[in-house]
Chain A
Amino acid sequence: MPRPDAEPRHRTRGSDPGPRTTDHGPLGGRHERPDARAKVAGSTRYVGDLSLPGMLHAGVAVAPIASARVLALDTAAARAVDGVEAVVTAAALPGANLVGVIFPDQPLLAADRVRMVGDRLALVAARTPEAAWRAARLVEATLEPLPAVHDPVAALVPGAPLVHDGGNLVRTFQVARGDAGRRSADVVVEALYHVGGQEHAYLEPQGCLAIPEGRSRITIIASCQCPFYVQQAVARVLGLPLAAVRVEQAPTGGGFGGKEDYPSEPAACAAVLAFATGRPVRFVLPRELDMQVSTKRHAMVVRHRWGADRNGRLRFAEVDAVLDAGAYVGISTVVAERANVSAIGPYDVPNVHVRTRIAYTNNLFGGAFRGFGAPQVTWAAEATIDRLARAVGLDPLEFRRRNLLDDHRRRICTGQLLRRPVLARECLDRAATLAGWDEFHARPRAADTATREGMGIALALYGCNLHHGGQRLDRSSAVVILQADGSVVVRVGLTEIGQGNLVACQTIAAQALGVDPTAVQVWQPDTTTVADSGPTVASRGAHASGMAILDAVRRLRTRLDPVAAELLGCRREQVELAAGRARVAGEPDRSVTIAQVAAELAARRIEAIATGWYRSRPRRFDAATGEGEPYEFYAVACHVARVAVDRDLGVVRVEEVSAAHDVGRVIHRDALEGQIQGGVVQGVGWGTTERLALDHGRLVNPSFTDYLIPTFADAPKVNIAIVESDGAGGPFGAKGVGEPALIPAAAAVRNAVVAALGVELDALPLVPPAIVAALGDAHPFAWVAEEEHEHVRSETVAPGR
C-alpha cells in the first residue's frame, strides 16, 4: 500500500534528546551500553556459539498429535544411527519426571499419555546435530488417539474430554466490589472478545549447554531469563541438591517471557543426556520446533457487560474471562492473577465483578509473555470503553477523562489506594498531543476511497513487580566488589535479555558510587555468585537488582567512608562520592580519587566486597475476593495509534503510535526509549498480523514466512513522551517499563481501525479475513472468511437497558 506521507518514519529521538551524562552522574543519560560493542562486532558468544571437546548435541522426539495414549516406544532404529551416544525415555530418568513450575502436572518425558503436540517422547545425544535429529525422527511411537478439546470455553462444559484427571477447570480468580449501582446505568454494552495468543519470536532460539562433573554436579549455560528456575528444574530431574547445580546465564538473544519458564525444559533435557553420557551436551532448538513446542501468550475469551450513565460516568463492569492454559498449567495461575486485577484498567468504576477462569485444553501451553495476561484484558476493556463512549455520544478522550483515576480518585478495582501522583490524565493528554488528536479529527477525510484512516487510544494500568501471590519470589541479591584500581565488579541475579538490565545496573551502581559508568563491570548472573533473586519478569529487573545494588553500596560504604575520611581529614559523615572522587561535602576542592581510596583499602586489607539484598514490603491481599494490594506501585501508559486500512484487502497499516509513559525516573534514556519502541512494535504485531494458526492443537505456521512479525518496513513511527514523577519505590524513583510499553498498543490499534471502518472488531489479531468478515456482506470477498470468523460478531450496544 502506498504511504500517504513521504516523510521518513524513523526520525525520532523521543520527546527529549537528553544529555549523555549529567553533572549529577549518569542517571537519566545515554552513555553507551556496556554490551553494545561486542554485540555489533559479532564477538558476543551466545550458547550456540560455544563448543567443548567431546561435546554432544541433543535432539528430541515429540508427539505429532495433541491427545493420545502411548502404547509403545521403539528406539532401536534411533540407537542404530551412526554417531548416536544415548537415547533416553521416561523409564531411564535419574530423578523426578517432572518439569511443572507451579503445578506438578507436566512430565519431562511422556510415559503413557500425550496431552499436546510437542510432548517429549525421547531424548537423543549424538556427535553431530544432524545425527541427533535424524535419530529423533526415527523414534517410533505407537500412539492411540484420544478425544481432545481445543476450545477453552468448551473445555469447561461438563462432559468435555479431560486433559488431566482432576477436571479442566484449573482455578478461578475473582474481584468483587460494590454492586448496587448497576441498575442505574443508562447505557449497557455487552460484548464477547476472542483475544488470540502470540509467539515470542525471540531471534535466538532456545538453547543451553550442560557440562557434567561425573554424576555429582553439573554446570548449565543457558539462554534464559531465570537461571534460578533452571537450577531448580535441573536439580529435580537429576535428583541433586541445588548447590550441585550451577547455572550461568549465557548472553540471551531475546526473551519477552518466552525464556522465563520454558528454558527449564531444554535444560533438564540436556542435563539428563549429559548425565547419561558423561559428556557435555548442547541443545539448541531449530526454529520450527522452537515455535511448535515452546510456550505462547495465552489466548483468552473475554465476556463483558459494562454500564455507564448518560453523563459518561462508568457505573459498573462485569468481566468473565477464560484463559486457555493449554495442556499444562506452567505459570498460567500467575498470568491469570494479573489478568484478573488488570481487567478494569486505570478507571474509576464503583461496581466491579471480574471472574477469571483457567481452562486446560489440548492446545500448546501458555506461558509468560510481556504483559502477562494484562494485554488481553486491556484489549477488551479499551474496546468496551470506546463502545460506551460512542453510545453516550462522547469523544473517546473525553469519555476516558471523565473516568480515569487521578489524585482524587485513587482507588483501583481491588480497593487499593494508588500512591500519588496518579498520572493517567497527564499520560492521556501527552499522548493525544503528540499524536495530534485534535488536528487529525478536525481534518476532513475522504469516505469514498479504499484506504481509510483512523486514530484510536488506549491506556493501561500496570502493577510493577510481582503480584502478591508471587511475593515469596520477590527478593534479590547483589554483590559489589571494589577492585584495588578503583574499578567495580557488580553481580546481580537478574538477567540481561536485551532489555538493558546490564546498563541499568551499571548506571545505578555508578550513580551510587559516584564513579563513571565505564568503571563498573556488571557480569551475567551465575547461581553460584548470588543468592536466588527470583525471575527476571514483571518489569522488575532494574527495580529488584537496582535496589539490591544500592543496599550493597550502602554496606560497602560502612568500610569505605572511614578510610576516605582519614585520607581527607574529615569526619566519615562528611564523605560524599561524586565525579570519580571521594570529597568533603560542601568543600569539593578537598578530594581524593576513588582509586586512591580503593588502593588504601587494599593496602590495609580491608574487606572491599559487600552483598546487598532487596525484598518487597509485605502486602495484604485476599485472593478469594480480590481485595487488597496486589502490587506495590503502579505505572500508567497511554498509546494513540494512527492507522490506514485498505478496506478492500482488509490490510491494516499502523502509521504512527504516540506513547506516553509514567516511568517514575529515567535510569538510562536510550534503554528506556528502546523498551518503548520495541514494546509498541511487538504489541502492534500481536494486534495485527501475528496469528497463531492452530489445527487440532498443532501450529501450522511455525516459521517467519507464515507467522508475520513486523519488519523494518512495517514498523510504525513511535513518538515518545516520558512523564517523570516522585513517589515510585524503585531505585532513584524508577518504575518498570518493559511491559507497559506493549500493553495498550494493540488496543489503540484496534480502536483506530474501528474508527476508520465504522464496524466493531472483537477478535485479535486484525488479520485481513477478520476485517473482511466484520465489514459484512457488502464486502465482495466476505464469503472467504465467513466460516472461520463466525464468532467475530458480538452482541453489541444495547442502550437503555
Chain B
Amino acid sequence: MADRITITLTLNGERRSFETAPGRRLLDLVRDDAGLVGAKEGCGAGECGACTVLLDGAPVASCLVLAASADGHEVVTVEGLGRAGALHPFQETLVTHGGVQCGFCTPGIAVTGAAVLARGGDAADHARLLAGNLCRCTGYAKVVEALDDAAAKEAADAPA
C-alpha cells in the first residue's frame, strides 16, 4: 500500500487536492489538512454529530468516513454553508432564536439543519431529523424553533 495518496475533491465549492495517508479520516483531512476546524471531534465514534459535514449534500459523521472515499466527491463544511459572506438562513435563525450556548455542537447542527432545509418536508419532522446531533446545553427547543423559522422563511421567499 502506498505511503501517501492523492485525494481530489470539491471542498466548499473549490476543487482541492491533498496528499495524505491512506487511512486518514475525512474529519482529519478537513481539520488538519484543509485547516477548516469548524467541524468538531466530540466523540470520534459517530455518536455525537459534532463533526457532521455534507458529502454530496448528505450529512455524514466525518469521523467515520475514510477521506479516500470522498475522492471525486463534493464536501461542504460549516464554513461553506453561507453564500457571499452571509450566513446560511439556518445559521442566521440559530443566532436570532438564541439557539446557541457553548457552541461546540453548533457547527454540526448547522450542517445537518441545512441538509434538512434543502430536503424540504414537514416541520413536524425537524426534531427527529436533527436527532443524530447531540447537544447538552440548550435542551434543543430553541434550535428546533430556529429550524422551523428558517424553513418558514424559505417557504415565504420561494417563488410562487
Contact residues of A with B, CB < 8 Å? 6, 8-13, 30, 32-33, 35-46, 48-49, 200-205, 251-256, 286-288, 497-500, 670-671, 673-674, 676-682, 703-705, 709-713, 715, 717-718
Q: A256-B136, A677-B142 are in contact. Are A42 and B78 (CB under 8 A)?
A: yes
Most-contacted residue by chain B among A41, A200, A705 (CB, 10 A): A41
Interface string of B60-101 (1 = CB under 8 A from A): 000000000000000001110010000100011011111011
Bound together, the chains give a CA A9 to CA B125 distance in angstroms of: 11
Interface string of B117-155 (1 = CB under 8 A from A): 000000110111011111111111111110010000000
Q: List 12 A-B contacts (CB under 8 A).
A: A8-B124, A40-B78, A42-B39, A202-B104, A203-B137, A254-B136, A254-B137, A673-B142, A677-B142, A712-B131, A712-B144, A715-B127
Q: Are B91 and A41 in contact (CB under 8 A)?
A: yes
Q: Are B98 and A705 in contact (CB under 8 A)?
A: no
Number of B interface residues, CB 8 Å? 57
Chain A residues positioned under 8 Å from B124 (CB to CB) = 6, 8
Q: What 10 A-B pairs come out closest when comparing CB atoms?
A: A42-B38, A498-B102, A253-B104, A670-B98, A39-B103, A677-B139, A42-B78, A704-B47, A681-B139, A498-B101
Chain A interface mostly helix, strand, loop or mixed? Answer: loop
Q: Does B37 contact A (CB under 8 A)?
A: yes
Q: Are A703 and B100 in contact (CB under 8 A)?
A: no
Which one of A37, A200, A204, A670 lies within 8 Å of B142 (CB-CB)? A670
Q: Does B7 contact A (CB under 8 A)?
A: no
Chain B residues positioned under 8 Å from A287 (CB to CB) = 42-45, 48
Q: Are B139 and A718 in contact (CB under 8 A)?
A: yes
Using CB atoms, name the residue of chain A closest to B45: A703
Q: Are A8 and B123 in contact (CB under 8 A)?
A: yes
Using CB atoms, name the residue of chain B closest to A680: B139
Bound together, the chains give a CA A587 to CA B48 distance in angstroms of: 57
Q: Are B127 and A713 in contact (CB under 8 A)?
A: yes
Q: Are B127 and A674 in contact (CB under 8 A)?
A: no
Shortest Cβ distance from residue A508 to the other chain B in the assembled complex, whole angstroms: 18
Bound together, the chains give a CA A255 to CA B101 distance in angstroms of: 11
Bound together, the chains give a CA A505 to CA B40 distance in angstroms of: 27
Q: Are A500 and B101 in contact (CB under 8 A)?
A: yes
Most-contacted residue by chain B among A11, A256, A498 (CB, 10 A): A498
Shortest Cβ distance from residue A5 to the other chain B in the assembled complex, whole angstroms: 11
Most-contacted residue by chain A among B40, B92, B100, B134 (CB, 10 A): B100
Using CB atoms, name the residue of chain B closest to A44: B103
Using CB atoms, name the residue of chain A closest to B107: A42
Q: Are B134 and A704 in contact (CB under 8 A)?
A: yes
Shortest Cβ distance from residue A769 to the other chain B in the assembled complex, whole angstroms: 23
Given A32-B96, A203-B50; 15 other pairs, CB 8 A cutoff:
A9-B127, A10-B126, A10-B141, A40-B78, A40-B95, A41-B78, A203-B136, A251-B103, A255-B102, A498-B101, A674-B139, A712-B133, A713-B128, A715-B127, A715-B141
Most-contacted residue by chain B among A38, A205, A682 (CB, 10 A): A205
Chain B residues positioned under 8 Å from A13 (CB to CB) = 145
Q: Are A39 and B136 in contact (CB under 8 A)?
A: no
Most-contacted residue by chain A among B87, B128, B137, B144 (CB, 10 A): B137
Bound together, the chains give a CA A43 to CA B110 distance in angstroms of: 13
Shortest Cβ distance from residue B129 to the other chain A in the assembled complex, whole angstroms: 8
Chain A residues positioned under 8 Å from B54 (CB to CB) = none
Shortest Cβ distance from residue A522 to the other chain B in the assembled complex, whole angstroms: 15
Bound together, the chains give a CA A8 to CA B138 distance in angstroms of: 18
Within 8 A of A (CB), among B48-63: 48, 50
Q: Are B40 and A704 in contact (CB under 8 A)?
A: no
Q: Are A712 and B127 in contact (CB under 8 A)?
A: yes
Q: Are B37 and A253 in contact (CB under 8 A)?
A: no
Most-contacted residue by chain B among A256, A677, A709 (CB, 10 A): A677
Shortest Cβ distance from residue B99 to the other chain A in the assembled complex, whole angstroms: 8
Q: Are A45 and B103 in contact (CB under 8 A)?
A: no
Chain B residues positioned under 8 Å from A33 (CB to CB) = 95, 98, 100
Bound together, the chains give a CA A45 to CA B107 distance in angstroms of: 12
Using CB atoms, name the residue of chain B closest to A6: B124
